[in-house]
């Protein structure tokens, strides 16, 4: 497909280069600008005319241009020639030719709509009888607010026929290429081009509408009696095309880490174009707007090329292709703008930069198609990664589900025997109470150790169930107002060595809004952790307070035991146990459960330590 596009571009270029303008009967051209807008023909004849290339010497103030054409009547044997002037949207063109000692004036232009049979599309024509002229000079008085240039050719019938053929070929070729680009844009959009293809489609549609206006289609068939409407359509299509061109340039760089300065510059340019479109409702055209548009067409491709150089294009070949085509586009557009700058004769062009703009559109289609292809491949890669991630998540979910089922089974299978063992131990202890104390002392100690081991196993099972519920997201906090003192007293009463725990409350009635069951699990696990890993028979200090900002804090402090000081960065990780803690019973799930529940309650938990003490702190809004 890329080769076909390049071949089509070469073919288009060859046709355009071979379709040269027909040689006309004008030997010399000159121009004089009447800044006063008040000179008559006789005054203008006496002025000094400078060589004329077709450019109307634009200025930011309205002015009248006088053009002198010196013709060569000996270059043809025919007596009737056609003066072909373009483009069609000039406000007024008055032709002065001398007959029988008097100057005859004829007028055309968008202020004077008329059907001109035999005139090429997008042109104005004056039939000139060469044998009736008193001299070899013709004068044109040009008044316009919407043209940079005026082509002027005096052709005999043979040359006129060839001119019509060449113009039809150029117009058909241009419209055909634009229609092909529109179809390509639609295909790119439905293949996943998104906004990039949309903006490219809009630029080509507005370019086609602009071409119809330049060719005079609207003036001839739609607005033959309302020239102002044709002028309005032309300017609206032109500004809209530039508007979408700016959007297209930004969309092209969107996924390439567009430079920040370029985004801001695009926004400024878009605001200017919107202001111009609004201004068209009050005045057909603004000379300042024309100047801005000309500068935009000339310089914006260079600005875009600079932004493209700064963009993040990771593939080297892709980057080289983009920069090469972008540079070629700039050179083409600049070469096509040479006549509009007055540096060479304006000949066949209907609009300065139009042919170059057409080639730019073709090469831009290559860039857009290439970028959309890269984006589509990236999206496919992202979708593949997403599918793989979903598959991994489903597999992990299945594993968690299977683990949950296993935990439920083990819980059911272990709790019943443990309950039976606890009841049997209790009954055995009651039986031993009937015997003398000397005989039952050692047996009571062993039974107590058995009951403690059963309680520890029951605690491990309960923690596994709670962690599984967290993994399955079965736990939902249900906050309510609760008295912290009552919760802490209940937890302490259920502790195995409650006598070691000292409670310090700032106030006997301290209320906090949180989930009571989950908060009790947090306190229970922190107390159990302190009792298990602290030095034997040392106190556990539990302090609760609320500061002036309403922040509740609970701290549990214990003396460092044989397990040593834990790693603060890993102490809340699942299954973490200190280096010297493996000799003590435990699963490494208690503090992980505390951290997980605190996250659910929008609370924070932390661990600080010194060489002698370890402090766990929980804070949450009261």
Determine the pLDDT at residue 512. Answer: 87
What is the distance between the alpha carbons of residues 277 and 284, in angstroms, rounded to a whole number? Answer: 10
| Torsion, Cα of 286, 219, 154, 102 (10° steps) | -80
Determine the Cα–Cα distance for residues 282 and 188; give it in Å rounded to an integer: 38
Q: Which pLDDT score is estimated for 555?
A: 92
Q: Which residues pair with 28 in a beta bridge?
A: 70
Which DSSP state fits 571?
Answer: T
Report the pLDDT value the prediction gives residue 106, as an integer from 0 to 100: 93
Which numeric CATH code is attached to 26-71+78-155? 2.60.40.2380
Q: Look up residue 372 and give its two tokens.
A: 């959309």
Residue with tokens 């370029």: 262
Q: Low-confidence residues of the chain, pLDDT below 70?
A: 1-23, 58, 113-115, 145-147, 223-227, 284-285, 313-315, 317-318, 333, 335-357, 359, 400-422, 424-426, 428-429, 431-468, 471-472, 580, 583, 622
Fold classification of 170-387 (topology level): Rhopdopsin 7-helix transmembrane proteins (1.20.1070)
What's the predicted TM-score (pTM) here?
0.59
Instruction: Report the sign of the C-alpha dihedral through residues 393, 394, 400, 403, in that order.
Output: negative
Specify the pLDDT at position 419: 67
pLDDT digits (tens, 9 = 90+) for 8-60: 444 444 444 444 445 688 999 999 999 888 899 999 999 999 998 887 876 77
Cα 406 from Cα 413, distance rounded (Å) = 10
How far apart CA 421 and CA 414 sit, in angstroms, is 11
Q: Which helix (H) or strand (E) holds 137?
A: strand 137-143
Q: Is the dihedral of CA 321, 322, 326, 329 positive or negative?
A: positive
Res 280: pLDDT: 85
Pair 182, 207: CB distance under 8 Å: no
* pLDDT number for residue 621: 81
Whether the ω angle into residue 122 lies within 30 degrees of 0, i.e. cis, is no
**Domain 477-621 indexed as CATH 3.30.565.10:** yes
CB count in 10 Å sphere of residue 427: 10
Q: Which two tokens stand for residue 302?
A: 């260079």
On whether the CB atoms of residues 12 and 332 are closer than 8 A, the answer is: no
Longest dimension (CA), the chain: 157
| Phi/psi-derived region of residue 35, left when phi > 0, alpha when psi is between -120 and 50, beta in every other case | alpha
Task: Report how far residue 220's alpha carbon sits from residue 566's, in angstroms, rounded to the nearest whole number.
Answer: 90
Distance, in Å, from the CA atom of 335 to the CA atom of 354, rounded to the nearest integer, reads 11
How much is the pLDDT for 16?
A: 45
Domain boundaries, the chain: 26-71+78-155, 170-387, 402-469, 477-621
Query: Cα(106)–Cα(127) distance, rounded to whole angstroms?
Result: 10
What residue spans of 433-539 are helical by DSSP H?
A: 437-471, 484-494, 516-533
* Tokens read off for 431: 């039986």
Tell me what pLDDT residue 365 has.
Answer: 81
Task: Report strand pairing: 80-86 vs 511-514.
Answer: unpaired
Please report the pLDDT score of residue 508 as a whole number: 75
- Specify the DSSP class assigned to residue 125: E
CA–CA separation, 458 and 136 (whole Å) = 119
Alpha helix segments (H runs only) across 257-353: 260-279, 287-310, 316-336
């Amino acid at each position: 497909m890329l080769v076909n596009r390049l071949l089509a571009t070469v073919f288009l270029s060859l046709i355009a280069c071979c379709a040269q303008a027909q040689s006309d009967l004008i030997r010399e051209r000159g121009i004089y600008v009447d800044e006063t807008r008040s000179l008559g023909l006789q005054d203008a004849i006496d002025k000094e005319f400078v060589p004329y290339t077709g450019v109307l010497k634009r200025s930011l103030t309205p002015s009248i241009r006088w053009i002198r054409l010196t013709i060569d009547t000996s270059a043809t044997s025919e007596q009737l020639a056609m003066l072909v002037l373009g483009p069609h949207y000039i406000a007024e063109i008055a032709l002065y030719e001398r007959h029988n000692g008097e100057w005859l004036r004829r007028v055309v232009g968008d202020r004077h709509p008329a059907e001109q049979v035999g005139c090429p599309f997008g042109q104005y024509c004056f039939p000139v009888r060469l044998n009736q002229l008193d001299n070899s000079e013709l004068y044109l008085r040009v008044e316009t607010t919407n043209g940079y240039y005026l082509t002027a050719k005096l052709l005999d019938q043979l040359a006129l026929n060839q001119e019509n053929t060449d113009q039809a070929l150029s117009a058909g070729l241009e419209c055909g290429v634009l229609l092909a680009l529109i179809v390509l844009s639609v295909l790119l959009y439905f293949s996943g081009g998104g906004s990039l293809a949309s903006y490219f489609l809009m630029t080509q549609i507005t370019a086609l509408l602009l071409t119809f206006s330049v060719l005079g289609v609207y003036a001839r068939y739609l607005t033959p009696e309302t020239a102002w409407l044709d002028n309005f359509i032309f300017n609206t299509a032109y500004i809209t095309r530039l508007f979408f061109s700016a959007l297209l340039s930004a969309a092209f760089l969107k996924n390439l880490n567009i430079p920040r300065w370029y985004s801001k510059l695009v926004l400024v340019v878009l605001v200017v174009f919107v202001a111009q479109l609004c201004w068209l409702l009050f005045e057909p055209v603004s000379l300042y707007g024309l100047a801005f548009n000309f500068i935009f067409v000339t310089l914006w491709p260079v600005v875009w090329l600079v932004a493209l150089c700064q963009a993040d294009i990771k593939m080297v070949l892709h980057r080289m292709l983009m920069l090469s085509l972008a540079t070629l586009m700039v050179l083409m557009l600049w070469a096509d703008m040479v006549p509009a700058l007055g540096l060479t004769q304006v000949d066949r062009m209907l609009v300065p930069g139009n042919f170059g703009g057409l080639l730019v559109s073709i090469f831009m289609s290559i860039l857009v198609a290439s970028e959309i292809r890269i984006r589509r491949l990236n999206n496919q890669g992202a979708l593949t990664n997403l599918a793989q991630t979903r598959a991994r998540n489903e597999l992990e979910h299945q594993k968690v589900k299977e683990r949950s089922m296993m935990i439920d089974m083990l819980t059911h299978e272990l709790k019943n025997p443990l309950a039976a063992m606890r009841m049997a131990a209790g009954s055995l202890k009651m039986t031993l109470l009937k015997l003398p104390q000397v005989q039952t002392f050692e047996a009571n100690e062993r039974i107590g150790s058995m009951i403690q081991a059963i309680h520890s196993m029951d605690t491990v099972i309960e923690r596994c169930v709670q962690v599984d519920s967290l993994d399955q997201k079965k736990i939902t906090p249900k906050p309510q107002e609760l008295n912290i003192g009552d919760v802490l007293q209940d937890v302490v009463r259920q502790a195995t060595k409650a006598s070691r725990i000292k409670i310090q409350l700032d106030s006997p009635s301290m209320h906090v809004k949180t989930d009571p069951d989950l908060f009790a699990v947090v306190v229970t696990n922190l107390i159990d952790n302190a009792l298990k890993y602290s030095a034997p028979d040392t106190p556990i200090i539990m302090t609760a307070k609320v500061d002036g900002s309403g922040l509740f804090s609970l701290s549990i402090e214990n003396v460092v035991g044989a397990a040593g000081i834990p790693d603060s960065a890993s102490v809340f990780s699942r299954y973490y146990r200190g280096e010297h803690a493996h000799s003590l019973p435990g699963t490494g799930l208690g503090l992980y459960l505390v951290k997980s529940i605190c996250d659910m309650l929008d609370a924070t938990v932390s661990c600080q330590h010194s060489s002698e003490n370890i402090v766990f702190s929980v804070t949450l809004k009261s």
